[in-house]
């Protein structure tokens, strides 16, 4: 046996073992609710009334792809197509980024996700899905217009103090740094990043619409 063969076999064994590890669990980067709203194709308030597992085509090996199909009753659409959403699809488990909803039609949700057309949408564990009762009054009001007013702004998560904006169209999201890695802190609950008349962006707090004085202000 050539001298180099044992080391080559050992290297191949390590490589194969590395590839044989189980699939990584689903993980999501924290984002501000406004970012989730702006990134979504569809944002609705709805109830899930039933759920069933359905086939959704085949993977590259010919195996059926399973998804959960939720039949929903839409209460209000904040962003999306003209027609109501009737079905929401998601992966069958949280390990593969599936999002579980309570069915029965009693619990109301705010649901943001991607459009699939024809009254259908898709959600993952990384999309914004919250019970309606858990939202603050400011968050509910912001869904109507305020979040949309800042979709051209950039919300940057501050990981540790100090941190600084890199451009005038940026808002620093400091909940993570100021509230011990809390992604549901003061800014997430009560603030929206608004684009002003001069093209800059700034945090705005409150349920009332931003006054013209706020929109017209210029940074020094």
For residue 18, pLDDT over 60 is answered with no
Give the pLDDT mean for 41-56: 95
Is 145 or 120 the better-scoring residue by pLDDT? 120
For residue 217, the model assigns a pLDDT of 56
- Answer whether 62's CB lies under 8 Å from 88's CB: no
SS (H, E, C) the chain: CCCHHHHHHHHHHHHHHHHCCCCCCCCCCCCCHHHHHHHCCEEEEEEEEEEEEEEEEECCCCCEEEEEEEEEEEEEEEECCCCCCCEEEECCCHHHCCCCCCECCCCEEEEEEEEEECCEEECCCCCCEEEHHHCCHHHHHHCCCHHHHCCCCEEEECCCCCCCCCCCCEEEECHHHHCCCCCCCHHHHHEEEEECCCCCEEEEECCCCCCHHHHHCCCC
The band of 14, judged by pLDDT with boundaries at 50, 70 and 90, is very low
Residue pLDDT, tens place only, 196-210: 999 999 999 976 666
pLDDT band of residue 214 (cuts 50, 70, 90) is low
In the chain, where the domains are located: 28-135, 136-219
pLDDT, position 215: 65
CATH architecture, range 136-219: Alpha-Beta Complex (3.90)
Please, what is the average pLDDT of the chain? 85
Local confidence band at 161 (pLDDT 50, 70, 90 cut-offs)? confident
The architecture in CATH of the region 28-135 reads Beta Barrel (2.40)
Tell me if 186 sits within 8 A of 116, measured CB to CB: no
**In the predicted structure, residue 38 carries a pLDDT above the cut 70:** yes
- Does 28-135 match 136-219 in CATH topology? no
pLDDT band at 180 (very low <50, low <70, confident <90, very high): confident
Tell whether the model's pLDDT for residue 213 goes beyond 70. no
Q: Is the dihedral of CA 151, 181, 30, 90 positive or negative?
A: negative
Give yes or no for residue 141 having a pLDDT over 90.
Answer: yes
Region 22-39 average pLDDT: 84
CA nearest neighbour of 101 among 77, 73, 79, 76: 73
pTM across the whole model: 0.81
User: Is 203 buried (19+), middle (13-18) or exposed (0-12) by CB count in 10 A?
Assistant: middle
Greater model confidence, 78 or 65: 78
Q: Taking a C-beta distance cutoff of 8 angstroms, is the pair 172, 163 a contact?
A: yes
Pairwise pLDDT comparison (124 vs 4), residue with the higher score: 124
Instruction: Extract the tokens encoding 193.
Output: 């990043």
Cβ proximity of 43 and 110 under 8 Å: yes
Instruction: Say what the pLDDT of residue 59 is.
Output: 76
- 26 among annotated binding-site residues: yes
Q: Which of 7-21, 100-114, 145-159 has the lowest mean pLDDT?
A: 7-21
Q: Is the pLDDT of residue 21 over 70?
A: no
Query: Contact 109/134 with Cβ under 8 angstroms?
Result: no
């Amino acid at each position: 046996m050539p001298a180099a063969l044992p080391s080559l076999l050992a290297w191949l064994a390590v490589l194969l073992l590395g590839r044989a590890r189980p699939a990584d669990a689903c993980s999501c980067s924290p984002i501000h609710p406004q970012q989730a709203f702006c990134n979504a194709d569809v944002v609705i308030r709805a109830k899930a009334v039933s759920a069933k597992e359905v086939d959704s085509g085949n993977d590259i090996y010919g195996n059926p792809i399973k998804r959960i199909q939720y039949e929903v009753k839409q209460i209000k659409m904040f962003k999306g197509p003209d027609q109501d959403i009737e079905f929401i699809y998601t992966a069958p488990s949280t390990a593969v980024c599936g999002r579980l909803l309570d069915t029965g039609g009693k619990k109301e949700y705010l649901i943001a996700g991607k459009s699939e057309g024809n009254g259908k949408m898709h959600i993952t564990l990384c999309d914004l899905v919250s019970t309606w009762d858990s939202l603050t009054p400011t968050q509910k009001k912001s869904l109507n217009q305020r979040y949309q007013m800042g979709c051209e702004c950039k919300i940057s998560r501050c990981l540790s103090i100090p941190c600084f904006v890199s451009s005038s169209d940026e808002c620093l999201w400091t909940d993570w740094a100021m509230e011990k890695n809390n992604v549901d802190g003061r800014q997430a609950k009560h603030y929206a990043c608004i684009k002003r008349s001069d093209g800059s962006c700034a945090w705005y707090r409150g349920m009332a619409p931003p006054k013209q004085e706020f929109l017209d202000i210029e940074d020094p």
